[in-house]
Amino acid sequence: MNNRDRKFGAAIVAAQIAAASTALANNIQVSSVTLQSIDTTANTAVVQFNLSWENSWRVTTGPANHDAAWVFVKYHTGDLNWKTASLEILDSAHTVPAAATLDVGVNGTRGMGAFVYRAATGSGNNAFNGIRLKWNYGADNVSDSALVTLDVHAIEMVYVPDGAFQVGDGVARAGTVDTASLIAGDVPANAAPYNISSAAAVNVGPVAGSLAHTGLAAGAYKQIPTTFPNGFSAYYIMKYEGSQGQWAAFLNTTSKLGAITYQYFEELDAIVPATVPPRDFLTGRQVFWSPDLPNPNVIPGPIPPNTAPAVPTRPMVQSMTPNRAFVSSEAATLAYLDWSGLRPMTEFEFEKAARGPVAPVAGEFAWGTADVAMLTYGGPAGSATALANDGLPAEAPMANYNEAGGNAYVRATVLTLPAGGPVLGPCRVGMFAKASYNPPTPPRIQSGAGYYGVMDLTGNISELVAKWNFPLATSTVATFSAEHGDGVLATTSLHNVPGWALVPAGATFYGLRGGSFAEAALPMSQRSLLTGGTMTNPGIRGVRTAPVAAP
């Protein structure tokens, strides 16, 4: 969901300020954004706002974790060249209500954003009013006389605490270094899971105490370095897959809009005769529009980007279904993560978010069992089929919600289509969570959640992960490095984080996990190539290494 409310008031030096508030993801809201306490000697100002979201928690038993909001501030000084505001790096420089706690996420000497979460155990809805973030506008070279526009963004996150866990589910899946099952190197015959017991570098090879994959040949292999997170250390992960509303918010607060190709963009009147709802490559389930964008020449498919004007003034990009998951690409996902100050997760972090510290189950899905719904969630809607409240914020299964096992939006459960017909696109993020659940099946299983409360790790759209491809010890090829995004994209609209890109161009650090609406339900430990593999339709889901102050 994306709500924008422009307000005009006083400026950096008592002139005027335009403030915008943005709501992202599922039911999270930012409102009443103002700029206060302007100090022209220290070159600081306070960005004040209200923050709320639903179904929050903080628990000390079981997963012993909490959810949070990752909050960051975008601004421009009249030229629409959007930048990320540098926050003071000390937690004590900022103010939150007594019911909340704040931890600053720091890149070097710069505060990129802040995690805001419950100060005490409990669950329910949060309403944190009067949050005050101190902006060091001098560090951003903003003059005292500048007229600034602010846009405060918030993304729902889940805290995954540090601790041991296992990778691999005990099933031997043959394949390449990118797709074969992760196993313990000392027992390759039975594909036993591998235990990650510390944040230290991981030994690799088909020998005792090392990580291997099914069929790994004898030899000397490069260690997995600490710059490639193995999942032991604490991190925050997006609670939901990135939504179409979040993608639109990204497009509307980046100065590189003219260089970005719209994924599966389609004007509302692009097909003649018109269809209701309008159809695109994802059969109407992912549509963006803006008055200044041309109709696509080829349907399906993306359209070329516009030529960037000298001053990039343009209408707002809108999403027809902002609560649905966004079908992305490697380039688009990495650009979004760089812009938001997050980073890609590794495949080890993916498995921990799903499985937690419990013992693996052969063939399990994200909710910890191998049972999954197999009947369509669609119901009759005229001559077609549809979900309940199809395309609306309350989109949900019309029928066959599985109360005896897990729920996932996969090929077997998408809306009924004629044999050989197109595969429908994504559904609302977090669609299977409910206010209450019928016993005896636990809520985690019915809602399709991972151990820590992360939604949709199986199905809907596939998860982009940094993969470990088992290079030999003599290899000089670089490996993924877990640097956080700095909020600034390259002039090409791509990310510019050195540790995220594999040279030569065309090669990739990334693979897919979890599967999408286009595939059968796939086990959580199954690995896939980014292209040409068993999974398709990558989405957006970022993580950020937890600040040291996080509990």
One DSSP character per residue, 32-64 reads EEEEEEEETTTTEEEEEEEEEEEEEEE-SSTT-
| Angle formed at CA 302 by CA 384 and CA 541, multiple of 5 degrees | 80
3-state secondary structure of 383: coil
Report pLDDT digits (tens) over 210-259: 999 999 999 999 999 999 999 999 999 999 999 989 988 888 888 655 54
Average of pLDDT values for 73-102?
94
* Rounded-to-integer distance, Cα 296 and Cα 99, Å: 49
Cα 457–chain centre separation: 11
Asked if 131 and 68 touch (Cβ cutoff 8 Å), the reply is no
Domain boundaries, the chain: 7-160
Report pLDDT digits (tens) over 406-456: 999 998 888 655 544 556 789 999 999 998 999 999 999 999 999 999 999
Partnered with residue 51 across adjacent β-strands are 30, 128
Asked if 513 and 435 touch (Cβ cutoff 8 Å), the reply is no
Report pLDDT digits (tens) over 374-394: 888 887 765 556 788 888 889
519 has a pLDDT exceeding 80 = yes
Asked if 233 and 152 touch (Cβ cutoff 8 Å), the reply is no
193 has a pLDDT exceeding 70 = yes
Asked if 378 and 398 touch (Cβ cutoff 8 Å), the reply is yes
3-state secondary structure of 345: strand
3-state secondary structure of 391: coil
Work out the percent of the chain whose per-residue pLDDT is above 70.
Answer: 80
Asked if 103 and 172 touch (Cβ cutoff 8 Å), the reply is no
Average of pLDDT values for 112-128?
97
